[in-house]
Structure 1
Amino acid sequence: MHPPIDLDAYLRRIAYRDATAPDLPTLRALVAAHAAAIPFENLDPWFGLPVDLEPAALQRKLLHDGRGGYCFEHNLLLQAALRAIGFDVSALIARVLWRQSDDAVTPQTHMLLRVELDGENWLVDVGFGSQTLTGVLRLQADIEQPTPLEPFRLVRMGDDWCMQSQLYGVWRSLYRFDLHSPPPIDLVVANHYVSTYPGSRFTTHLVAARIEGDRRLTLLDREFTVRRLGHEPERQLLRDGGEVRRVLEQRFRLRLPAHPQLYRRLHELPG
């Protein structure tokens, strides 16, 4: 039996008001709404707090507390919602290649979803931060697939698949994966690694991302960036912790946690 989810609360959180059915139009609409409504953020590991993947904790944080999360939180929440609607959905685990060479050997630290629908397989991923997939990809190699933002494609790397997005005319690899669905404990171990390892990006930097219409918003420490298709990125170095707070609350739509060290940590962010 799959963990329960308050589906009505989920649909309210992502501002989804249409009827739901286990079909491709619903899947596409849910992915787009989720990516726009729930931000990517790593405040908990940045504070040294555990990231709890239990269903009740995920729903409390992302649905009721006005927070976001990273890949495991986003995609586990979406997986539960899709199952409640009637989709056949399973988790996949990936090795991140973003900003690395395609032959890099990296740990399995990313999660995405495979959806089987009418005999075909589709991929969704609402948790890759600055390059979160805003559409739904057919599991088919070597074809350019449009999304509401950049084109994406899948290529084969030996026995693996590789997810790529096109940025400024160049295909960039995001991660590689196989089609084996891992047992839940593997996701727990990967989540523990990325949220506690001293060298993890999520323990050493403040990171946030969200889709805003035709724009991708990203924050890395004090650097706030807005990217639009066909335009050069607009980068702004935020002056102090107060500006960082305003951007997180207003542009990323985050309800910041009541952590006693929040404002000190924001003011100490590197430029």
Structure 2
Amino acid sequence: MSEPSFDQQAWLGRIGYAGSLQPALNNLHKLIFAHSHAIAYESLDIMLGRTPTLDIASLQRKMIAGGRGGYCLEQNMLFREGLRSLGYSVTSLQGRVVRGLAIDAPRPAIHMLLQVNLPEGPYLADVGFGNLAPTAALLLREGIEQETPHEPMRFIDVGGELTLQARLRGEWEHIYRVIPYPRYDSEYEITNWYTATHPHTPYQSNIIAARPGPDRTRITMFNRRVTVRHATGEADKRHLNDDTEFRIVLRDEFGLNMTDDEIRTCIDVMECKGEKGAPHPFFA
């Protein structure tokens, strides 16, 4: 059941959704598209020394009332609550991220995703995978090329785990393997603590943000590098030079409500500890 404290209307207003509220596949597509475009993927609170909290009240304060984004656990926790408030049946799952790695790499289950159970079958819903989060629901069935508002996607089976792939520049690139077993929220709490506090994860030291853009584009920020990738796979890249440029990009292009001091702190952390070369493969 949905938590009584969830403000469905505030969420729908935040994502700009004014369509049908019936729990149906076509409406699920529209909700995913609206949420992913309105609430950016970002992990900047971790750079500010704030470990994300996953209770619904905190998520609403941050991402709905506070005008901020969040990373996978925050995004999909909030989206799950929104779907449940509308009457959708949702199963919570985890995935093994293999973006930029071997497809069968022995990866831990650190990504949260959702299975929405519909009369048409089980569908993946994921508004929290940065620059390759599917912008439509995807049927959890292998071997079917599925169109989205951005890249075509498909699943292939790898050792009993459906592996999500996107077609970029004419090639199929793998993203994550879906573990087909329900997860408890306590498991997400463990994952959240690990990803937010472990010194070897990229979030403590790097400015990371992503958001779908207009005309099937995606915009990604990794430290000073901002990339706009087109549906063809071609990309336009630019580098930021000063605080003013950082403020413009974070506020205007990613829609983040951040103070000058918060942005300056993130830049300071990045300059001291951030990666100097190419983006982490998860965010390339």
User: TM-score, normalised to structure 2's length?
Assistant: 0.91
CA distance in 2, matches of 1:165, 1:238: 28
Task: List alignment gaps of at least 5 residues for structure 1.
Answer: none
* 1:41 to 2:81 alignment: no
* 1:54 to 2:58 alignment: no
**What is the Cα deviation at residue 181 of structure 1?**
0.8
Q: Deviations over 1:182-204 (max 9, x none)?
A: 11111110011111100101112
**What is the Cα deviation at residue 232 of structure 1?**
2.2
Change (3 A) 1:268 1:54: closer
Match of 1:138 in 2: 139
**Bigger shift: residues 222-231 or 5-14:** 222-231
Letter in 1 for 2:147: P
Show the 5 A alignment for 1:149-164.
Answer: 149-164=150-165
**What is the Cα deviation at residue 159 of structure 1?**
1.6
CA distance in 1, matches of 2:11, 2:262: 30
**What is the Cα deviation at residue 65 of structure 1?**
0.3
Change (3 A) 1:194 1:268: closer
CA distance in 2, matches of 1:46, 1:103: 31
Letter in 2 for 1:243: E
**What is the Cα deviation at residue 261 of structure 1?**
5.5
Contact 2:169 2:233 in 1 (8 A): no
Contact 1:15 1:33 in 2 (8 A): yes
Q: Deviations over 1:118-160 (max 9, x none)?
A: 1511111110001111011011101110000100101111121
Q: Deviations over 1:201-241 (max 9, x none)?
A: 11121100111222101000010111112262000011122
Query: For 1:256, which of 252, 255, 258 is the aligned residue?
Result: 258
Show the 5 A alignment for 1:1-271.
Answer: 1-4=1-4, 5-118=6-119, 120-213=121-214, 214-230=216-232, 232-257=234-259, 260=261, 262-266=263-267, 269-270=270-271
Contact 1:241 1:269 in 2 (8 A): no
Contact 1:96 1:175 in 2 (8 A): yes
Contact 2:168 2:232 in 1 (8 A): no
**What is the Cα deviation at residue 262 of structure 1?**
3.5
Q: Percent identity?
A: 36
Letter in 2 for 1:230: T
Contact 2:104 2:158 in 1 (8 A): no
Task: List alignment gaps of at least 5 residues for structure 2.
Answer: 277-284
What secondary structure, in the 3-state scheme, does the structure 1 residue paired with 2:114 have? strand
CA distance in 2, matches of 1:63, 1:6: 9
**What is the Cα deviation at residue 171 of structure 1?**
0.9
Letter in 2 for 1:148: P
Change (3 A) 1:31 1:261: closer
| Alignment RMSD (CA, Å) | 1.5
User: TM-score, normalised to structure 1's length?
Assistant: 0.95
**Bigger shift: residues 75-84 or 103-112:** 103-112
Contact 1:240 1:267 in 2 (8 A): no
What secondary structure, in the 3-state scheme, does the structure 1 residue paired with 2:157 have? strand
CA distance in 2, matches of 1:134, 1:119: 18
CA distance in 2, matches of 1:101, 1:204: 25
Letter in 1 for 2:90: V
**What is the Cα deviation at residue 3 of structure 1?**
2.1
Change (3 A) 1:107 1:228: same
**What is the Cα deviation at residue 102 of structure 1?**
1.2
CA distance in 1, matches of 2:266, 2:142: 44
Contact 1:139 1:154 in 2 (8 A): yes
Contact 1:48 1:196 in 2 (8 A): no
Aligned residues: 270
Change (3 A) 1:185 1:257: farther
Letter in 1 for 2:139: R
Contact 2:42 2:209 in 1 (8 A): yes
CA distance in 1, matches of 2:46, 2:270: 15
